[in-house]
């Protein structure tokens, strides 16, 4: 999300717009007071610079850890801070990319001042405190009116830890090797390594007892969603999921991209040994273990016919088909894609979009995408790729199709090269500007009628 946001802002500035970055910063307490302070300009890895403002003492930012103390995340904040900021900045549009740290008062002030508001769904925070909308290891399709939420959030950060991760000291140290390792270990714990039976103790009674609290938390965010002039789903799956809970004023789908995505399509023809790529981490939530199990099935029937390339080293060499490599960077992406015949995005849980499929198709690589991934929007099933259910059997059957008919690689790649449109950040920013202008015009018409 951060890459998308900063790439978008940089492109919007290049197109002549005045844009600044507002982000949740130091947590100095849990009271009503807050402030917005100008910071040194934020500079991206590509050297783009943008004005940066810190929201001091925002609501807490739980990251991926969930929410336990509901009152901390629904506390009132001073409207005057936001009123002064939006007036000083002469804001036309307030585009929100995460609700974490943002109080509802900021959106209420926007409505008072006539500032148009847009929200882009990059994750499921707001309808799910843990961001991922997972339940008992799988997609959360029914939380039983929030009675399951306590089970998912019972190990959320304490007040002390929330203060710590939003402190100046943590910000200075967060890129140190020690803190990076701690974050990686925490994220692996959240995302899941090897799939295994859950060992969380029975909490059904506690879940029911705390359901009302989580219902009030969701109601707080529903109030926020109701204040946005427009909710943009970064995929059809994401928007459809949000609409199960939210009734926004207006909504539409607008797929996202990033600056490194350019049109580099070329025809891919299958290697003698089929080269299958997985570019994600070694995590159950990303579908790695389901993919590995599917490959076990195919290898049992067609041994020696394919290789699965992964870009982490975790001692998985006991499988003959598995080739482990070092993590790659965007500078390496061309070389990585040139070596692949098929790219797999096997998400087992709801994934709002993800750039992997888009990146692969921008090089002309056929993709197999889980129906649980928002990137399925890009795929015409059977034409420029395959969309499969997130099961071992469905994934194995899709891989087997390429193994048994290697010419399928060239057939699908040629369709991508011929008809797939590679969305660039320039085009995306232009599309967004058109949306902003529509909202501003609607606001002017409404004011005139009043």
Residue 280 has pLDDT above 50, yes or no: yes
pLDDT tens-digit series, residues 425-444 = 999 999 999 999 999 998 66
Instruction: Give a yes or no: residue 326 inside a domain.
Output: yes
The answer to whether residue 82 scores a pLDDT higher than 70 is yes
Q: Is the pLDDT of residue 296 over 60?
A: yes
| 430 in the same domain as 369 | no
pTM: 0.89
Considering only 46-55, 82-91, 227-236, which range has the smallest mean pLDDT? 46-55
Q: Is the pLDDT of residue 149 over 80?
A: yes
- Reported as a pLDDT band with limits 50, 70 and 90, residue 83 is very high
How confident is the model over 310-334, as a mean pLDDT?
A: 84
5: pLDDT strictly greater than 70: yes
Burial category of 161 from C-beta neighbours within 10 Å (exposed 0-12, middle 13-18, buried 19 and up): middle
Q: What is the pLDDT of residue 442?
A: 85
Is 76 found in the same domain as 219?
yes
Q: Determine, yes or no, domain membership for 264.
A: no
The residues, ordered by sequence, that sit 6+ positions from 368 with a Cβ below 8 Å of its Cβ are 342, 343, 344, 345, 346, 385, 386, 388, 395, 398, 399
209, 339: one domain: no
Mean pLDDT within 64-71 = 93
HSE, CB side, 13 Å, CA atoms: give it for residue 403: 22
Residues 49 and 155 both lie in one domain? yes
Domain that holds residue 350: 274-419
What's the DSSP call for residue 200? P
Question: In the prediction, which pLDDT does 133 show?
Answer: 87
Q: Is the pLDDT of residue 145 over 50?
A: yes
Helix 79-89 / helix 104-113 crossing angle, nearest 10 deg? 50
The domain tally of the chain equals 2
Domain assignment present for residue 368? The answer is: yes
Compute the distance between CA of residue 217 and CA of residue 158 in angstroms, rounded to an integer: 17
- The answer to whether residue 348 scores a pLDDT higher than 60 is yes
Answer yes or no: are the C-beta atoms of 213 and 70 closer than 8 Å: yes
Quote the CA–CA distance of 51 and 19 in Å, as a whole number: 7
> 235 near 211, Cβ under 8 Å?
no
State whether 240 and 367 are in the same domain. no
Whether 108 and 252 map to the same domain: the answer is: yes
Average pLDDT for 163-191: 65
| pLDDT value of residue 450 | 41
- CATH no. for residue 242? 3.40.50
In a domain, 178, yes or no: yes
What kind and span of H or E run contains 35?
Answer: strand 35-43
Residue 330 CB contacts under 8 Å (≥ 6 apart), including other chains: 260
CB 203 within 8 A of CB 153: no
Alpha helix positions (H), 49-158? 70-73, 79-89, 104-113, 149-153
19 with 36, same domain: the answer is yes
Do 246 and 391 lie in one domain? The reply is: no
Residue 359 has pLDDT above 60, yes or no: yes
Strand order in the sheet with 342-345: 322-324, 306-310, 274-277, 342-345, 367-370, 385-388
Residue 188 has pLDDT above 90, yes or no: no
Contact 281, 378 (CB under 8 A): no
Q: Averaged over 158-184, what is the pLDDT?
A: 73
- Rounded distance, CA 312 to CA 188, Å? 14
357 neighbors 337 (Cβ within 8 angstroms): no
Which pLDDT value is given to residue 6?
A: 93
Pairing relationship of beta strands 385-388 and 342-345 according to DSSP bridges:
unpaired
Residue 197: predicted pLDDT: 46
Residues 413 and 433 in one domain: no
Same domain, 245 and 364: no
Residue 440 corresponds to which tokens in the numbers above? 């501003």
> What span, in angstroms and rounded, lies between the C-alpha atoms of 279 and 386?
17
Give the alpha-carbon dihedral of 159, 164, 165, 167, to 10 degrees.
120
Mean pLDDT of the chain: 90
């Amino acid at each position: 999300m951060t890459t998308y946001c900063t790439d978008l802002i940089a492109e919007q500035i290049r197109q002549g717009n005045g844009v600044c970055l507002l982000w949740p910063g130091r947590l100095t307490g849990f009271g009503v007071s807050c402030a917005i302070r100008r910071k040194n300009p934020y500079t991206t890895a590509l050297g783009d610079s943008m004005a940066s403002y810190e929201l001091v003492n925002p609501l807490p930012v739980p990251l991926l850890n969930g929410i336990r103390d509901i009152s901390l995340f629904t506390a009132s904040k001073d409207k005057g801070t936001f009123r002064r900021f939006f007036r000083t900045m002469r804001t036309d549009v307030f585009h929100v990319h995460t609700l974490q740290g943002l109080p509802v008062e900021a959106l209420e002030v926007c409505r008072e001042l006539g500032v148009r508001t847009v929200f882009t769904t990059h994750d499921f925070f707001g309808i799910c405190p843990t961001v991922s909308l997972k339940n008992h290891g799988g997609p959360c399709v029914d939380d039983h009116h929030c009675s399951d939420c306590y089970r998912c959030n019972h190990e959320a950060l304490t007040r002390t830890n929330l203060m710590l991760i939003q402190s100046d000291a943590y910000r200075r140290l967060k890129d140190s090797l020690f803190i990076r390792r701690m974050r990686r270990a925490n994220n692996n714990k959240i995302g899941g390594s090897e799939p295994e039976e859950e060992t969380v103790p029975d909490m059904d009674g506690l879940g029911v007892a705390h359901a009302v609290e989580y219902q009030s938390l969701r109601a707080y965010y529903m109030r926020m969603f109701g204040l946005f002039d427009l909710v943009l789903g970064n995929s059809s799956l994401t928007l459809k999921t949000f609409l199960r809970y939210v009734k926004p004023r207006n909504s539409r789908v607008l797929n996202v991209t990033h600056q490194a995505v350019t049109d580099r399509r070329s025809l891919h023809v299958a290697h003698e040994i089929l080269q299958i790529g997985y570019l994600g981490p070694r995590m159950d939530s990303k579908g790695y273990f389901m993919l590995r199990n599917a490959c076990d099935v195919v290898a049992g029937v067609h041994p020696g016919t394919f290789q699965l390339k992964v870009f982490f080293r975790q001692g998985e060499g006991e499988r003959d088909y598995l080739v482990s490599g070092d993590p790659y960077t965007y500078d390496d992406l061309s070389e990585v894609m040139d070596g692949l015949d098929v790219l797999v995005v096997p998400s087992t849980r709801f994934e709002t979009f993800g750039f992997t499929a888009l990146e692969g198709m921008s090089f002309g690589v056929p993709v197999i995408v889980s129906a649980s991934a928002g990137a399925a929007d890009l795929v015409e099933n059977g034409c420029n790729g395959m969309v499969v259910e997130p099961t071992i059997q469905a994934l194995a059957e899709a891989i087997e199709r390429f193994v048994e008919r290697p010419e399928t690689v060239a057939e699908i790649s040629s369709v991508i090269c011929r008809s797939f449109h590679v969305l660039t950040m320039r085009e995306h920013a232009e599309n967004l500007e058109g949306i902003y202008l529509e909202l501003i015009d609607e606001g002017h018409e409404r004011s005139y009628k009043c």
